[in-house]
A and B are shown apart, each in its own frame.
Chain A
Amino acid sequence: MKRTRDELAHKEEARIQALTKKSVPKDLTEEEKAEVARVMKKSGVINECGKETVTQDSIQRLRGTTWLNDELVNFYGAMVQQRADERLKAAGGKPGEGGKDLPGGKGRALDIHVFSSFFYSKLTTDGYAKGRIGRWTKKFDIFKKDKIIFPMNIGGMHWTTGCIDFRKKRIEWYNSLPGSAGDIFEELRKYLDLEHRDKRKKSFDFTGWANYRCPDYPQQQNGSDCGVFTALGMEALARDADFNFEQDNIPFFRRLMVLEIGRAKLSKIPTRED
């Protein structure tokens, strides 16, 4: 009995260690800071990733506590997509054919699709048919994906993250502020059904599906950083990872985002190592 208890205590300690050993860096290196300064001074188009572009006006929004715009959030989504596709290919998979479990129980290279912030806007303002949302998926089948992930702009003033997880059968919504979901889950269920009818000619089977709100999703402590939380939420969701960031890390992440956009590539930091 005692031995079991010791074992449990040991396991618990190991678990806590595993959770606490990786932390968000305090700051960028001096070289990286110089790189950030160079990116901030560029004029015109800063960079392109996939179909997304960030211009000089948009990148300035990563300073201080300025609100983020669609260019920044969607560019981040494009980098998340790019990394996911690369990981999947490295694991021997192919985007559109489903994710691949990694050897040695090291998780899974997910097959994801990241929609831009205009997906949810168009869906809710125009509706599926009038907005011609069915054509957004002319090149791939969402029902073969592990997840679809998308930033959502709420009321022209707030960024949140949405996700449809086909493996867990969950419609997920991540909000860095407390607040009611309104009809978000309903809209996304309606989307799934209409998309299924459009592509598979029959209604979507919601058996076993749940609406999900993460009880301990990181919360912003101000009225300005939701765009950063949204970008970081998408990044973690694409790896099936924990949300390893909090308000204190946001000044670091704003600088990191400048660096990443300048390189059109997500950075490897300790909290992102699987």
Chain B
Amino acid sequence: MADAEDQHDHDHEEAKTEDATGPINVKVVTSTGDEVFFKIKRNTKMSKLKGAYAQRVGKDVQTIRFLYDGERLGEDDTPASLEMQDGDTIDVMVEQVGGSRL
């Protein structure tokens, strides 16, 4: 795991920080309810988090989308630029395609 991401699955409540500039805990959640917790620095780029997540769950990074409160996360977005709070959730969605109907 890269230096900025200190992944931890269960102790996310205990690790809650009051420091407004310190690292924050974020939860990456799929529509099927699978959750992965990450502790990241506020200036960590979301592209890095996405890469780490894709590797963790064994998915192609091109086929997943990270959403924060309904908005797609850009490669250069960071927790700071998004004004994320400790304990916030990122929704992970998979690529959608369509051409016709059953």
Contact = CB atoms under 8 A, between A and B. Distances in A.
The judgment on whether A and B are partners is yes
Secondary structure type dominating chain B contacts: loop
Interface string A195-228: 0000000000000000000000000101111110
Interface in A47-76: 48, 51-53, 55, 57, 65-71, 74
A118 interface: yes
B74 A53 contact: yes
A119 interface: yes
A222 B99 CA distance: 9
A55 B62 contact: yes
Nearest to B67: A118
Interface string A74-102: 10000000000000000000000000000
Contacts of B93: 70, 118, 121-122
A57 B62 contact: yes
B72 A53 contact: yes
Nearest to A132: B89
28 contacts: A45-B75, A51-B73, A67-B97, A69-B95, A70-B95, A71-B95, A74-B72, A118-B65, A118-B67, A121-B93, A122-B93, A126-B31, A132-B69, A133-B70, A135-B69, A136-B69, A138-B69, A153-B98, A154-B101, A157-B97, A158-B100, A158-B101, A223-B99, A223-B100, A223-B101, A224-B100, A227-B98, A230-B98
